[in-house]
Structure 1
């Protein structure tokens, strides 16, 4: 199945015009020729070079989102994934007619090149005196298309086209001549490379479902922005580091006879680039940030200097879940006949624009922050409390291990419950906490020979690795347990000490949470366990009481937590995921003690 076949539209035939009308509402500096689907600047300065681009719709914000001061003067929009016709383009050329001249920039797709080219020729046929006033640049930056395969038609145009717009547009705004703007645009087009990856193809509104699909555990490398297939599929999906390393190999290769397009030297610190990380429409900003970080890190490790990092949604394939990486290889001083210096290119990229499509980017070399985090355990003076062992240190260690394993094993079920009763992250949050505790055990920071400091370490894991409401609750709870245990006069932690610590933790938790049993939260089994243990019952009886309280959350109304916002009928028979997590931990500890 394709990523999604659902769309929020009135009618497929009206979608492009209605979208362009919305764009003009967003940016009142724009005008729209509805008949020809041409978006153009109202305030065009006809003493400066005009920039026209366009192509099929469905790649927003390209192309229309870049119309405005500092980038494009007009964009000509076809139907989704279909080139505009020559009449549309001719209308744009006539709307922008000026003495400084016009530069047309198009992606290298046959339809775009033919239709924009035909419009140029028709325009000049009627105005031969302006033969040198309308110039043309074709951008083909896709390294996925090998030299043999693309020998006749050339490479496809992808997100690198946006860098051509930005640099040429900034130079035009500065008042550069048409020849200067054209030469700069052509140079950028010749020195930019892009490769994209997708987890799935997209669906065009108004069309039937496609039979084309990428496997559930696969990613396609080199796919086009019109659902054209890539040149290879990787399965299973590699880690971000492995995938991006592969993409950078394709972009920077000088030994691959099919895909060596840019003259990288691979000498340490001699290659300088602009890196564009582009969302193809359907991945989250969270993932895109991770991609940007990984790409910068790996380029730095290769000795490539990233002079600018630009990241965001620039040229999409509707809602395709994927991204592309673009490298613009900056000129080396004294090498080649370059129309622009590196500083001039960077200045053009840094120039502020008045377009909704161009995302904010820093006018500086990107740097990855070094970790300066200090864990809760490190903030707590390790020797402020004399190490006190558990009454049975090895049993303590086994119990910790068992609880962690049980939470990890229960992740899927707890996540299932939370998708119904909450926001779907409880299982993964508890799993992350369990894995963090396991790491601390492996480091020797959680062990039965120093119970109080071990509990402090667990609180630190809850704070730093779990996050959210659950992380805060667990961190407060375990911090308070450690405080309660620290009042002991015993040489080892006894059952009475545990009761004292747990009771103090319950009081502390009540200070920060309004949840009281029965509340349909993790407080229900937690308090049932503590109260039962405090009454003189056995540990097994206390665990049984907690499990019963967790099971009972399936039959009571939510009074606290995210379940409050879910319809009661939907929660009927569904246990609270947080309560289930507490029950899983306590049952695992009991089982380990009886082993």
Structure 2
């Protein structure tokens, strides 16, 4: 793994926007919304054709923005590296791309993407009255059914084939319902497995210490720098590795992994051999030949073979194999023309006729004063409390990041850092803040939504929105009472629990958040202690959610959950300021 990049540390903040803008230079039929990091097909008519929108974290290029174009995606939205885009980003992309024909969101099955895209879809239905449906793609076969019983199969390179099929359907005038019906057929016929020689290096971050030995290969690699499902040591030959990968893809006798039966019609299969980032074209092509030969030995002669770079994990030194069961209809959509830059087959595009320019405006701002709602709070104490919580969390970021590189994708600490830094700017000394508890916590909720992506960002956003909503109903004009603070905290927790089935015992930040909220009635110092205990118990705990599910248990056995560590850091900071005094 190389940690050398042409893009230097001072340019990391513009890396993703610059990469997205480059697409508009390559294809003038694309437009670029810099604020929300979204790419649009200018020729798409959303009133005549279903809008197909996708997206996710950066680092998977050409996915997803390079699949925007006639015949594939109408729009794509990007988060930061390996982090889901925020709800406001997705919502604005949907709003700007959608029309009377309706919208289909194609989402890889990861917790953060599911949270954010589902929330954005719901928001669009409510605010715009639009028909917006979500298609979640899960094609990973490396993990057993029992292992992923709660979270489902990960979305991997097979998602690109879903883009192509649904995008072609939309271009041919099919309805939302027709797209949804065929998406279920495609999803049921997808199977992907990856393998890698090592980790990737995330620009701007230190090298992870969790490296793959030179004598080993990781099987079941994801696309977020997480550990594989299985470490193969000693390293098998390429032939043996491919045999094992194809067995996982094709063997229906294994009740834990036989996800797709390709034996029903072995002549109706397409194969995608995907470069995870850093394989040479020469090596990938040789691997492709060996895969096709081995499929032939199993009686499968692929109708189409796609070999290239479709969905990466930055500079990942590996590849994945995807098989899709097809019929004549699905094959026709795969063969349909597209102008998307990232699709492998030759394509042409024409500059669309000039249409009325579209302005990608920010989400409408509610100008009604929030200070008229709910009870009061002492601004000076609130400022100190927020500052204490945020600075405590910022001090913990290096440790959180270190542990997350072992059991996740390394973004948990940086996500928390972005949120804390944004919130701190709202409460800096010299900036006037109101005495309205509701107003202040709505501002915090908005700051979190704008700055924190990924799963943890969604959870913090849900918590503070639920917290704020309860404060809105507090005694107008009066000082917020202890019981009202408790009720708001409980409402915040319930808002999170209403979206995710994760609970204490599932190795998530809920292991710290739940005991903190549940014992807050007994005093802040006791609640902080219970949060600390909850986070500590996650060491060795079997995960049920998040990327830790996909990591070999050797990685998380002695490592606490990074999200729970973040919660502890926040409440410890609160405790240092507030224990012994009233925020009101």
TM-score by length of 2: 0.58
2:280 maps to which of 272, 277, 284: 284
Asked if structure 2 preserves the Cα contact closer than 8 Å seen for 1:271 and 1:329, the reply is no
- Give the Å deviation of 1:63: 0.3
Q: State the structure with more CA Rg.
A: 1
Partner of 2:311: 315
Encode CA deviations 1:241-281: one digit per residue, 9 max, x unaligned. 2111110000011121221101233x7x7453110000001
Partner of 2:325: 329
**Match status 1:174 vs 2:175:** no
Partner of 2:408: none
**Match status 1:349 vs 2:334:** yes
Q: 1:360, 1:138 → 2: CA distance?
A: 25
Partner of 2:44: 44
Encode CA deviations 1:155-184: one digit per residue, 9 max, x unaligned. 110000000000111111111111111211
Q: 2:252, 2:329 → 1: CA distance?
A: 26
- Give the Å deviation of 1:349: 0.8
Q: 1:68, 1:209 → 2: CA distance?
A: 36
Partner of 2:216: 218
Indicate the SS of the match to 1:305: coil
Asked if structure 1 preserves the Cα contact closer than 8 Å seen for 2:124 and 2:132, the reply is no
Partner of 2:29: 29
Asked if structure 2 preserves the Cα contact closer than 8 Å seen for 1:66 and 1:358, the reply is yes
Indicate the SS of the match to 1:135: strand
Partner of 1:198: 196
- Give the Å deviation of 1:44: 1.3
Q: 2:346, 2:328 → 1: CA distance?
A: 16
Q: 1:275, 1:137 → 2: CA distance?
A: 22
- Give the Å deviation of 1:146: 1.4
Per mean C-alpha deviation after superposition, the further-off stretch among 138-147 and 270-279 is 270-279
Partner of 2:345: 360
Encode CA deviations 1:505-543: one digit per residue, 9 max, x unaligned. xxxxxxxxxxxxxxxxxxxxxxxxxxxxxxxxxxxxxxx
Partner of 2:418: none
**Match status 1:112 vs 2:113:** yes
Partner of 2:426: none
Per mean C-alpha deviation after superposition, the further-off stretch among 228-237 and 83-92 is 228-237
Q: 2:85, 2:187 → 1: CA distance?
A: 22
- Give the Å deviation of 1:19: 0.6
Partner of 1:253: 251
Q: 1:167, 1:97 → 2: CA distance?
A: 19
Partner of 2:158: 160
Q: 2:26, 2:77 → 1: CA distance?
A: 18
Asked if structure 2 preserves the Cα contact closer than 8 Å seen for 1:276 and 1:327, the reply is yes
Unpaired runs of at least 5, structure 1: 331-341, 363-595
- Give the Å deviation of 1:312: 0.5
* Structure 1 residues 452-467: aligned runs within 5 Å: none
Q: 1:22, 1:144 → 2: CA distance?
A: 35
Partner of 1:485: none
Q: 2:268, 2:153 → 1: CA distance?
A: 23
- Give the Å deviation of 1:351: 1.3
Q: 1:264, 1:172 → 2: CA distance?
A: 27
- Give the Å deviation of 1:240: 2.2
Q: 1:271, 1:65 → 2: CA distance?
A: 30
Asked if structure 1 preserves the Cα contact closer than 8 Å seen for 2:275 and 2:310, the reply is yes
Q: 1:65, 1:292 → 2: CA distance?
A: 23
Q: 1:147, 1:97 → 2: CA distance?
A: 36
Partner of 1:337: none
Asked if structure 1 preserves the Cα contact closer than 8 Å seen for 2:267 and 2:300, the reply is yes
* Structure 1 residues 196-595: aligned runs within 5 Å: 196-265=194-263, 270=266, 272-330=268-326, 342-360=327-345
Partner of 2:82: 81
Encode CA deviations 1:26-46: one digit per residue, 9 max, x unaligned. 111111110110111111122
Asked if structure 2 preserves the Cα contact closer than 8 Å seen for 1:240 and 1:294, the reply is no
Indicate the SS of the match to 1:287: helix
Unpaired runs of at least 5, structure 2: 348-584
- Give the Å deviation of 1:194: 0.3
Q: 2:188, 2:112 → 1: CA distance?
A: 21
Indicate the SS of the match to 2:106: strand
Asked if structure 2 preserves the Cα contact closer than 8 Å seen for 1:191 and 1:262, the reply is yes
Partner of 1:474: none
Asked if structure 2 preserves the Cα contact closer than 8 Å seen for 1:145 and 1:156, the reply is no
Asked if structure 2 preserves the Cα contact closer than 8 Å seen for 1:55 and 1:84, the reply is yes
Q: Which has the higher contact order (CA 8 A, sep 6+)?
A: 2
- Give the Å deviation of 1:360: 2.0
Indicate the SS of the match to 2:303: strand
- Give the Å deviation of 1:237: 2.9
Indicate the SS of the match to 2:187: helix
**Match status 1:20 vs 2:20:** yes
Q: 2:190, 2:103 → 1: CA distance?
A: 22
Indicate the SS of the match to 1:257: coil
- Give the Å deviation of 1:361: 7.3
Asked if structure 1 preserves the Cα contact closer than 8 Å seen for 2:37 and 2:77, the reply is yes
Asked if structure 1 preserves the Cα contact closer than 8 Å seen for 2:195 and 2:318, the reply is yes
Q: 2:215, 2:278 → 1: CA distance?
A: 17
- Give the Å deviation of 1:16: 0.3
- Give the Å deviation of 1:57: 0.3
Partner of 1:397: none
The count of corresponding residues between Structure 1 and Structure 2 is: 344
> Which 4+ residue blocks in structure 1 deviate beyond 4 angstroms?
none
Q: 1:28, 1:319 → 2: CA distance?
A: 28
Indicate the SS of the match to 2:141: coil
Asked if structure 2 preserves the Cα contact closer than 8 Å seen for 1:49 and 1:103, the reply is yes
- Give the Å deviation of 1:305: 2.7
Partner of 2:535: none
Q: 2:216, 2:124 → 1: CA distance?
A: 47
Indicate the SS of the match to 2:302: strand
Q: 1:110, 1:345 → 2: CA distance?
A: 28
Asked if structure 2 preserves the Cα contact closer than 8 Å seen for 1:90 and 1:123, the reply is yes
